[in-house]
Chain A
Amino acid sequence: MTNTTVTTSTANLGGSEALQTEERSALAWAISDTLVLTRRNLLHLVRQPQLLVFTFIQPVMFTLLFRYVFGGAIQTGSVAYVNFLMPGIFVQTVVFGSTATGIGLAEDLATGVVDRFRSLPMSRLAVLAGRTLADLTRNTFVVALMTVIGLLVGFRPSGGITGFALGSVMILLAAFSLSWVFALVGLKAANAEAAQAVAFPLIFPLTFASSAFVPVQTMPGWLQAFAKHQPITVIIDSVRGLMAGPVEAAALRKQGLLNASTGTSTVLALLWIAAILATAAPTAVRWYRQAT
């Protein structure tokens, strides 16, 4: 910095009075802070296209693997396996995707960005809400893309647009609630790698010991007990029922490919999501406040 720069800067660099902040209600600022950080997190996604591609490759590979390699060996009776499979793939995709919430949060904590945020008069909720909202947006795009992939490999949901739309809402609600669970992981992990290492053993049994890829009834009894009742199966069953529409859902149920009626699994799924949100979100906010 030359002397000239320094002389001209006198009036502008610092001073004994802070700049006047804009007058708004606390709620309005909390929303503004959250949106500022949501935008920041989405810019991160857009500017790391290689990561975005990676996010897509995995579910596409699972789709191809189960549709064309394993699918022929999995019996789904009168219902085409691809129609059974895709709701499972959708849910698996957003479950895996929700771990990104924890990884991103752990990274921000490790790099000191969060320390700066904490020193600002911004909403304490915004760092977490900005993160989970950005991940919800990302999951929306991923589900849209996976829908295209599904259609390409022959997915023809009988529930029509309405059933598909309702199913998609369920998927995104589930994704949002799980983001808060992985936010907890991110808050306690030392760095992004550690968050990832903790997340994987959590999501692996939940997605594979579920009704995502195979009918639960083919599993051994002890595993069925877990697989039938764990939340991911309940959510997948609800999405599967909604997307299949009443007629096909009834056929699936008759053949033991759905564990409950669409209505029952949807109510149960919503209860699970509400319970997860009601537990994880306040805990995450408390941990964020306490984390030092």
Chain B
Amino acid sequence: MFDDARSSSTPAGGPRTPSPSKPAPAIEAHGITKRYGDVTALGGVDLSIPTGTVLGLLGPNGAGKTTMVRALTTTLIPDEGRATVLGHDVVTEADAVRKVIGLAGQYAAVDELLTGQENLEMIGRLAHLSRKVVARRATELLDQFDLADAGGRPAKTYSGGMRRRLDLAAALVHKPPVLFLDEPTTGLDPKSRSDLWEVIRQLVADGTTLLLTTQYLEEADLLADEIVVIDHGLAIARGTAAELKRQLGATVLEVNLVDSRAATAALAELQEVPGAEGSPEQDGTMVRLATADGPATAMAVLRSLDAAKIGVAGLALREPSLDDVFLSLTGHAAEETADTPQEATS
């Protein structure tokens, strides 16, 4: 998946690079720290999310993602650090923050014994909307989330995907301009997951600022403008998906030649290809080349080999995956959870 390919296919909500004149940050956090006894859940995390953009907080179980979300949604008080949401301090102006945020958690916090409609109306009333607005909004959201038929049934009869949609709908009752989604698609089947992605894109297209936590690299890559990789309570890398990939190293261009003699000839020919980074390497019948711009370099390589009359058997561009990025940053794979501490909260 490449940035340019994606943004043209999904103009509405796909990741966009923030414009040069950045809007004021909707969320700003400095040095957020939270300890539980000897365990440091967060060891001083900084975040800045421009209004109307999506930040993906990427990390394995127990990395501190939920704790960070809880600090920013006023559901826990950090030991150190300061954070604001739309200019309101999360500790000293918690009520002002609560009016502008929506939170959908990892464990769909729907009330199982209440119906879908009752769940939304309860949250709407607790968000201090008037009865009239609440009733209208509940019906509207049930429609939007394909829950109109199930709205009168207790939520315990819902499927996992329906619960997650109801949970997200509840977070949207008061149309919060800033939304926190804590692992919104964990445990969902692929269809429900892509449905939720569609909704999330829609929200962002409507102007909502979003902080999304995820264990799925694909999800962060697909939805987030900027990604912060978090591990053991520390932000260990940040940037766009493309920047993170670049951080690992450039795209690798692999040229397969007909035999090793041709490969040696090609190696000599490719010493001065425009766009190549470092020197090419030979590996049997293959020549490997690092580059920042895969397609352009591939064209240049083919042109110079063609001019030198060297036959090419195959050519491949290998983009480093975010999994590679994570592995190289943390020394363990993103999905690995066995020896990491449990998320200190929830």
Contacts and interface: CB of A to CB of B under 8 A. Distances in A.
Interface of A: 1, 5-6, 9-22, 24, 29, 32-33, 36-37, 40, 43-44, 47-48, 111-113, 115-122, 126, 292
Contacts of A13: 144, 172, 199, 202-203, 206, 208
Contacts of A17: 175, 177
A116 B137 CA distance: 18
B107 A18 contact: no
Nearest to A32: B125
B109 A120 contact: no
A24 B202 contact: no
Contacts of B198: 1, 6
Interface in B51-70: 51-52, 70
Interface in B125-175: 125-130, 133, 137, 140-141, 144-146, 154, 170-172, 174-175
Contact of B114 (A15, A24, A32, A43): A43
A18 B154 CA distance: 28
Nearest to B192: A1
A123 to B, nearest CB: 9
Interface of B: 51-52, 70, 73-77, 95, 98-103, 105-109, 111, 113-114, 118, 122-123, 125-130, 133, 137, 140-141, 144-146, 154, 170-172, 174-177, 179-180, 195, 198-199, 202-209, 345-346
A100 B43 CA distance: 38
B7 to A, nearest CB: 18
Given A36-B126, A118-B75, A122-B98, 17 more contacts: A6-B202, A14-B206, A14-B208, A15-B175, A16-B52, A16-B209, A18-B99, A18-B177, A19-B174, A32-B125, A33-B126, A37-B126, A40-B111, A48-B113, A113-B111, A115-B75, A115-B346
B127 A16 contact: no
B111 A121 contact: no
Contacts of B51: 16
Binding site secondary structure of chain A: loop
Given A33-B126, A40-B111, A292-B76, A14 B207 contact: yes
Contacts of B95: 121
Given A18-B174, A40-B122, A116-B170, A292 B128 contact: no
B114 A40 contact: yes
29 contacts: A1-B146, A6-B198, A10-B206, A12-B140, A12-B141, A13-B144, A13-B172, A16-B208, A16-B209, A19-B129, A19-B174, A21-B127, A22-B130, A29-B128, A36-B122, A36-B125, A40-B122, A43-B113, A43-B118, A48-B113, A112-B106, A113-B109, A115-B103, A115-B105, A115-B109, A118-B73, A119-B75, A119-B103, A122-B128
Contact of B144 (A5, A20, A117, A118): A5
A15 B206 contact: yes
A119 B73 contact: yes
A37 B125 CA distance: 10
B129 A22 contact: yes
B141 to A, nearest CB: 8
Contacts of B129: 19-22
Contact of A292 (B70, B100, B137, B206): B70
A12 B346 contact: no
Nearest to A292: B76
B233 to A, nearest CB: 15
A112 B130 CA distance: 25
B121 to A, nearest CB: 9
B251 to A, nearest CB: 33
A252 B133 CA distance: 60
A45 to B, nearest CB: 9
B213 to A, nearest CB: 14
A133 to B, nearest CB: 16
A153 to B, nearest CB: 34
B128 A21 contact: yes
Contacts of A115: 70, 75, 103, 105, 109, 346
A127 to B, nearest CB: 10
Contact of B75 (A5, A22, A292): A292
